[in-house]
Structure 1
Amino acid sequence: MTTGIPEHLITAAVDAARRHNLDVADVSLKLIADEAGISRSTLLRRIGGTRAALDRALLNAGVDPGGRPPVRERALEAAAHLIAGRGLAELTLETVADSAQCSLPSLREALGGRDALLTAVFERHTPLLDVEELLPGEDVETTVRSIYRALVRAFQHEPRVLPALVADVFSRPDGPAARVLRRQLHRYLTTIGTALSTHMKAGRIRRLPVPLVYQLMVAPLAVHLLTRPALGDGLPPVEEACEIFAEAFLNAVQKGTSS
Structure 2
Amino acid sequence: MKDLVAAAVAAAKERGQDVADVPLTAIAATAGISRSTLLRRLGGSRAPLDEAVRRSGVDPGGRPPVRERAIAAAAELVDERGLGGVTLDAVADRAECSLPSLHAVFEGRDGLLTAVFLEHGPLPDLEALVANPPERLEDTVRALHHSFVAALDHRPRIIPAVFGDLFSRPDGPAARLVAGYAPRLYDGLGRLLSPHMEAGRLRPLPLPVLVQLLFGPLLNHMLLRPVLESAFGAGLPSSEESIDLFVEAYLRAVALPPEGDPGSGV
Show the counterpart of 1:79.
74
Aligned partner (choices 82, 85, 93) of residue 90 of structure 1: 85
Contact 2:70 2:95 in 1 (8 A): yes
| CA shift in 2, pair 1:28/1:180, >3 Å | same
Identity of aligned residues (%): 51
Aligned partner (choices 97, 100, 116) of residue 102 of structure 1: 97
* Superposed displacement of residue 43, structure 1: 4.1
TM, length-normalised to structure 2 = 0.84
Show the counterpart of 2:203.
206
TM, length-normalised to structure 1 = 0.86
Aligned partner (choices 133, 137, 146) of residue 143 of structure 2: 146
Q: Which amino acid aligns with 1:198?
A: P
Q: Which amino acid aligns with 2:38?
A: R
Show the counterpart of 1:44.
42
* Superposed displacement of residue 57, structure 1: 4.5
* 1:15-54 pair list within 5 angstroms: 15-28=10-23, 31-37=26-32, 39-40=37-38, 43-44=41-42, 51-54=46-49
> When the two structures are aligned, how many residues end up with a matched partner?
251
Q: Which amino acid aligns with 1:240?
A: E
* Superposed displacement of residue 79, structure 1: 1.2
Contact 1:126 1:154 in 2 (8 A): yes
| CA shift in 2, pair 1:90/1:37, >3 Å | farther
CA deviations on 1:128-175 (whole Å, 9 max, x unpaired) are: 111112124432111110011111111112222222222122122111
| Unaligned residue ranges in structure 2 (runs of 5+) | 260-264
- Is 1:244 the counterpart of 2:245? The answer is yes
Show the counterpart of 1:156.
153
* Superposed displacement of residue 193, structure 1: 1.8
Contact 2:74 2:91 in 1 (8 A): yes
Range that drifts further, 24-33 or 154-163: 24-33
Show the counterpart of 2:162.
165
- Is 1:221 the counterpart of 2:218? The answer is yes
Show the counterpart of 1:121.
116
| CA shift in 2, pair 1:52/1:222, >3 Å | farther
Question: What is the RMSD computed on CA atoms of the aligned residues?
Answer: 2.5
For 1:9 and 1:172, the matched residues in 2 are separated by: 51
For 1:193 and 1:200, the matched residues in 2 are separated by: 10
